[in-house]
Amino acid sequence: MANIKSAKKRILVINKKTERNKAAKSRMKTSVRRFNEALATNERELAEQKFIDAQKIVQKTASKGSIHRNTARRKVARMAKALNKLA
């Protein structure tokens, strides 16, 4: 446990950021999972809509700093590749 006042404050800040990042990552994973479920149904329009939603959320998560931008780009590229394979 921290004894210095500034270290105690940093612990509080870190805990807030950790919770925020966990929530953002969870939201992102859920959107990607919904896209994959839509992909499994072989319905092109539904999959395209879920792709757009998932892409927005993944890129927003990266812009907030919860994940690295290259990780976000890789996820979006893989989803786009899977969507194009559906056609």
pLDDT in tens, 39-60: 999 999 999 999 999 999 999 9
Say if residue 69's pLDDT is above 80. yes
Which residue, among 14, 21, 18, has the nearest Cα to 65 in the 3D structure? Answer: 21
Cβ contact 20:47 at 8 Å: no
- Residue 17: Cβ within 10 Å count: 12
Separation of first and last alpha carbons in the chain: 56
- Model pLDDT, residue 18: 98
pLDDT at res. 1: 85
